[in-house]
Amino acid sequence: MQTKHFSLPIRVYYQDTDAGGVVYHSTHLNFMERARYEWLRHLGFNVHGLIGIHNLQFMVRSLEIEYFKPALLDDLLHITVNVTDMGRSRITLEQEILRDETPLVKAMVHVVCVGTESLKPIRIPINLREKIETPT
């Protein structure tokens, strides 16, 4: 499964960097999380609605990440979200952080849909599944 990717522009601020102006390695994970939230919003599902109405949330189960080049203070980055696989309760996402067309970071992120009270895997709602599977 390969869906059309979503891209979120993010500017690097001083708070994102070390004293040398290089983005902290963990900040890349924050950027990717933000892009996943905005991707869901783009599909018509905000996080509060998923929790409050559907009684579910997505949790990262695992991820693999590679850093190729540093992101720097004041860079305009594009963080992509691309679904590569989807099961009953899990989604595999490929995410990249790009400066212009240059890949800086690439990650495979495996998320699981869980019930808000039990925190155990549950089926991804059909309306969300359909939105994910339909190219936009």
The pTM assigned to this predicted structure is 0.92
**Does pLDDT of 136 surpass 60?**
no
Instruction: Write out the two tokens for 68.
Output: 């190729």
pLDDT of residue 134: 83
pLDDT of residue 73: 98
**Does pLDDT of 2 surpass 80?**
no
Structural domains of the chain in order of their starting residue, each with its CATH number = 6-133 (3.10.129.10)
Mean pLDDT of all residues in the chain?
Answer: 95
Buried b / exposed e along 100-132 (16+ C-beta atoms within 10 A): eeeebbbbebbbbbbeeeeeebbebbeebeebb
pLDDT tens digits, one per residue of 37-66: 999 999 999 989 999 999 999 999 999 999
Question: How far is the C-alpha of 45 from the C-alpha of 28, rounded, in Å?
Answer: 23
**Does pLDDT of 125 surpass 60?**
yes
Active site residues: 18
